[in-house]
Amino acid sequence: MTEILGHFRISITMDMYTHVVRDTRREAMSHTDRLPRRRSGRQ
């Protein structure tokens, strides 16, 4: 990815895009309340 983006070092890529992964993870977690829940006693 670093080469494709033309960055000289991996640290540049990581500094720029780590927040995207973190934000995406937070957004995904915020949607878990919409998932169907398994009732206790049932499998």
Three-state SS letters, the chain:
CHHHHCCCCHHHHHHHHHHHHHHHHHHHHHCHHHCCCCCCCCC
Q: Which class for 31: exposed (0-12), middle (13-18), buried (19 or more C-beta within 10 A)?
A: exposed
Q: What is the pTM of this model?
A: 0.41
The pLDDT assigned to 40 comes to 65
Q: How many whole angstroms separate alpha carbon 17 and alpha carbon 42?
A: 42
Convert the pLDDT of each residue in 16-38 to its tens digit.
777 777 888 888 888 887 878 77
Domain ranges of the chain: 2-29
